[in-house]
C-alpha cells in the first residue's frame, strides 16, 4: 500500500475514534448554545450499540458538546464575519476540501442546462465560468477603486456599489428617471416621423452578470440602501409601459445561452457578448422599420491566450490595477482564454444603414461590428456627451446648441442610444449652458437626451 494511502487511512481513522476516546477519558462540561435544543444521549449498552441508537444520539450530542466548542463557535463567528476573506483560512478550507488551487470545480448543475447544450456554440466558454473555483480568494483585495473578487475576477467598485446599492449616489429620483423615459419616448416618436428609428441599448454591469464572484468580504463590509431598487429597473419598466424600443442585453444573454460575458481582467463585456447584442439590434430594426436590412450572425467562437486587440479593453482594469501596484502582479489571476466571434454578414443585397450612435465605452464594439462587417455606412458616434469627431466642431451640439442636431439627423436610418446599467442617472441639467450639462457624474447620458429633446420640441409647429 502506498504511503499516501496509509497516511490518509490513518488520519480518517483518528478522526473517527477521537470523539469517543475524548469523551471516555475527559467527559464534557460544554453546554448547548442558546439557539440549540437539549440532545438526549443514549446510555452505552450492548443493545443500544447494536441497534445504532447510541451512535446516532452520540453523533448529535457530540456536535454540541465537544470540549472547547463554545469558544470555537464564537471564534468562528468572529472570523466568518470580520476576516472571512483571509487567504490563510481560505487555504485551510480549500486544502481540507481538496480544492486548493483547483480549476476543476464543476458548478454546471447550478445553471440551466441549455448553457452547456451540444448545440450551443457558447457551451465551451460557458463551462470555463461554471468551473471557476469560488473558494479561491486572492489575499490582495485591490485598491480604493478596484475590487479583486473570487477566482481573480476584477470589478470596478462603482459597478458593484450600483448593483447592490451601497452608495448614496445610487438612490433614484423617480421623477428624474420618469423624465428620461418620457424624453426617450418623445424622441422615438418624433424621429420616426422623420424616417429615423430609435433603439435604446442597455449594456450590462459586470457585478450583476458575474455576481457569484463578488467577494463576501466586500459585501459584509457594506450596507445597501433601504428598499433599494436600481435605476435600470425603473427604466426598463417605464420603457415597457411606454412602448420604447429597447434591448436589455442581460436578457439577450439568457435567450442565446451565453454565460461567459466578461473577462476576469476587463471591466467591459467581451466581443462575443457585444456582437450578439448587435445581432439582436439589427433584427429588431427590421421589425420596427418593417424593412429588410443587412444582418450579422455569430457563427462560431475562437479562443486565444491573448485578448482581442480593440484598445485592449479585455485587460483594461487589470492594467490599471497592477500597473499602479506591480508588486502584487505575480500573484494575480488572469483568464485562461479570451474569445472572439466569427461573424457573418447576410442580406448583402440590402443597402448599408446610415447610423448615428451615442453611448459610453461599452458602445465601442458596435462601431467595429457595423463598420468592419459592412452593415452600416456613415457611422458617427458620440462618446458620452462629447464628439469623437472633433474635426467637425459644427456637429458639437453642446457647444453650438441643440440646433446642431439638424445636420446630424439628416438621412439617418437608425439612432442607437446606449447606456450601461451603472451609468443610468435620474438627474437632469436645468440650466441653459449646455457645456455645463456634460458633467458625467451628475447627468451622464441625460445631457444628450435633454439636448435632443429640446431640439425636437423647438421644431414643433414649424
Tell me whether residue 426 is in a domain: yes
The verdict on 276 and 395 lying in the same domain is yes
Q: How far apart are CA 382 and CA 417, in angstroms?
A: 10
CB atoms closer than 10 angstroms to residue 293: 18
* The C-alpha cell that represents 300 in the structure block: 462560431
Q: How far apart are CA 418 and CA 421, in angstroms?
A: 10
pLDDT for residue 378 = 62
Tell me whether residue 92 is in a domain: no
pLDDT for residue 163 = 97
Q: How far apart are CA 369 and CA 172, in angstroms?
A: 34
The verdict on 72 and 203 lying in the same domain is no
pLDDT for residue 187 = 97
Q: Is 13 exposed, middle or buried (0-12, 13-18, 19+ CB in 10 A)?
A: exposed
The verdict on 26 and 118 lying in the same domain is no
Side-chain-facing half-sphere of 262: CA atoms under 13 Å: 27
Tell me whether residue 101 is in a domain: no
* The C-alpha cell that represents 335 in the structure block: 483568464
Q: How does pLDDT run along the chain (462 residues), one tens digit per residue?
A: 556 556 556 665 655 555 555 544 444 444 433 333 344 566 777 776 666 666 666 655 555 555 554 444 444 444 433 444 444 454 444 444 444 444 558 889 989 999 999 999 999 999 999 999 998 888 899 999 999 999 999 999 999 999 999 999 899 999 999 999 999 999 999 999 999 999 999 999 999 999 999 999 999 999 999 999 999 999 999 999 999 999 999 999 999 999 999 999 999 999 999 999 999 999 999 999 999 999 999 999 999 887 765 546 788 899 889 987 888 888 888 898 999 999 999 999 999 999 998 888 898 889 889 989 999 986 666 777 665 445 466 667 767 777 778 888 889 999 999 999 999 999 988 877 767 776 666 788 888 898 899 889 988 866
Matching residue, cell 456613415: 378
Which of 82, 99, 118 represents a domain boundary (last residue)?
Answer: 82
**Coil, strand, or helix at residue 146?**
strand
CB 188 within 8 A of CB 244: yes
Residue partners of 190: CB distance under 8 A and separation at least 6: 456, 459
pLDDT for residue 405 = 86
* The C-alpha cell that represents 198 in the structure block: 430609435
φ, ψ of residue 214 to 5 degrees: the values are: -70, 125
User: Beta strands 353-359 and 146-148: pairing type?
Assistant: unpaired
pLDDT for residue 453 = 92
The verdict on 32 and 125 lying in the same domain is no
The verdict on 130 and 33 lying in the same domain is no
The verdict on 166 and 43 lying in the same domain is no
Q: How far apart are CA 110 and CA 124, in angstroms?
A: 16
Residue partners of 297: CB distance under 8 A and separation at least 6: 279, 343, 344, 346
The verdict on 142 and 62 lying in the same domain is no
> What are the b/e assignments for 71-104, b being 16+ CB within 10 Å?
eeeeeeeeeeeeebbeeeebbeebeeeebeeeee
**Coil, strand, or helix at residue 242?**
helix
Structural domains of the chain, count: 2
The verdict on 181 and 40 lying in the same domain is no
CB 239 within 8 A of CB 183: no
Cα dihedral value 78, 81, 84, 89, nearest 10: 20
Tell me whether residue 272 is in a domain: yes
CB atoms closer than 10 angstroms to residue 124: 14
Alpha helices in 66-199 (DSSP H): 69-82, 87-97, 123-130, 157-164, 174-193
The verdict on 401 and 294 lying in the same domain is yes
The verdict on 179 and 65 lying in the same domain is no
Tell me whether residue 245 is in a domain: yes
Report the Cα–Cα distance between both ends of the chain, in Å, rounded.
94
Contacts 24+ apart (CB under 8 A), 37-46: 39/64, 39/65
The verdict on 249 and 293 lying in the same domain is yes
Tell me whether residue 105 is in a domain: no
Tell me whether residue 103 is in a domain: no
CB 334 within 8 A of CB 318: yes
Range of the domain at 39: 3-82
Tell me whether residue 102 is in a domain: no
Q: How far apart are CA 271 and CA 343, in angstroms?
A: 11
**Coil, strand, or helix at residue 379?**
strand
The verdict on 197 and 248 lying in the same domain is yes
Q: What is the DSSP code (8-state) at residue 38?
A: P
CB 249 within 8 A of CB 192: no
pLDDT for residue 206 = 97
Q: Quick check: pTM over 0.85?
A: no
Amino acid at each position: 500500500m502506498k504511503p499516501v494511502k496509509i497516511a490518509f487511512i490513518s488520519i480518517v481513522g483518528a478522526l473517527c475514534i477521537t470523539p469517543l476516546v475524548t469523551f471516555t477519558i475527559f467527559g464534557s462540561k460544554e453546554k448547548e448554545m442558546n439557539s440549540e435544543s437539549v440532545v438526549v444521549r443514549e446510555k452505552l449498552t450492548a443493545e443500544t450499540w447494536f441497534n445504532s441508537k447510541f451512535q446516532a444520539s452520540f453523533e448529535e450530542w457530540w456536535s454540541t458538546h465537544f470540549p472547547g466548542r463554545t469558544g470555537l463557535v464564537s471564534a468562528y463567528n468572529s472570523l466568518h464575519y470580520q476576516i472571512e476573506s483571509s487567504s490563510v483560512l481560505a487555504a485551510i478550507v480549500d486544502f481540507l476540501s481538496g480544492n486548493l488551487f483547483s480549476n476543476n470545480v464543476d458548478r454546471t448543475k447550478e445553471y440551466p442546462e441549455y448553457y452547456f447544450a451540444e448545440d450551443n456554440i457558447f457551451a465551451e466558454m460557458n463551462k470555463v465560468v461554471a468551473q471557476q473555483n469560488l473558494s479561491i480568494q486572492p489575499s490582495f483585495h485591490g485598491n480604493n477603486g478596484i475590487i479583486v473578487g473570487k477566482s481573480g475576477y476584477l470589478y470596478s467598485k462603482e459597478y458593484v456599489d450600483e448593483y447592490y446599492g451601497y452608495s448614496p449616489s445610487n438612490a433614484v429620483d423617480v421623477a428624474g428617471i420618469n423624465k428620461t423615459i418620457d424624453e426617450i419616448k418623445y424622441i422615438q416618436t418624433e424621429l420616426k416621423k422623420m424616417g429615423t428609428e430609435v433603439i435604446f441599448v442597455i449594456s450590462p454591469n459586470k457585478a450583476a452578470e458575474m455576481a457569484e464572484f463578488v467577494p463576501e468580504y466586500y459585501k459584509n463590509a457594506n450596507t445597501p440602501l433601504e428598499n433599494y431598487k436600481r435605476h435600470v429597473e425603473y427604466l426598463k419598466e417605464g420603457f415597457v409601459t411606454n412602448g420604447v424600443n429597447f434591448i436589455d442585453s442581460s436578457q439577450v444573454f439568457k435567450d442565446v445561452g451565453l454565460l461567459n460575458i466578461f473577462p476576469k481582467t476587463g471591466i467591459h463585456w467581451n466581443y462575443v457578448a457585444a456582437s450578439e447584442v448587435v445581432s439582436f439590434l439589427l433584427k429588431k430594426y427590421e421589425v420596427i422599420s418593417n424593412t429588410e436590412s443587412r444582418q450579422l450572425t455569430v457563427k462560431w467562437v475562437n479562443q486565444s491566450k491573448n485578448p482581442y486587440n480593440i484598445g485592449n479593453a479585455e485587460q483594461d482594469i487589470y492594467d490599471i490595477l497592477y500597473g499602479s501596484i506591480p508588486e502584487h502582479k505575480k500573484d494575480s489571476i488572469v483568464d485562461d482564454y479570451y474569445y472572439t466571434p466569427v461573424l457573418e454578414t447576410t442580406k448583402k443585397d440590402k443597402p448599408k444603414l446610415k447610423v448615428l450612435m451615442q453611448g459610453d465605452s461599452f458602445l465601442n464594439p458596435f462601431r467595429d461590428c457595423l463598420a468592419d462587417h459592412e452593415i452600416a455606412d456613415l457611422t458617427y458616434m458620440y462618446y458620452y456627451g462629447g464628439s469623437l469627431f472633433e474635426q467637425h466642431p459644427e456637429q458639437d451640439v453642446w457647444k453650438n446648441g441643440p440646433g446642431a442636431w439638424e445636420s446630424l439627423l439628416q438621412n439617418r436610418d437608425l439612432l442607437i442610444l446606449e447606456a450601461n446599467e451603472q451609468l443610468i442617472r435620474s438627474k437632469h441639467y436645468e440650466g441653459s449652458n449646455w457645456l455645463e450639462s456634460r458633467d458625467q457624474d451628475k447627468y451622464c447620458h441625460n445631457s444628450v437626451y435633454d439636448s435632443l429633446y429640446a431640439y425636437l420640441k423647438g421644431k414643433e409647429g414649424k
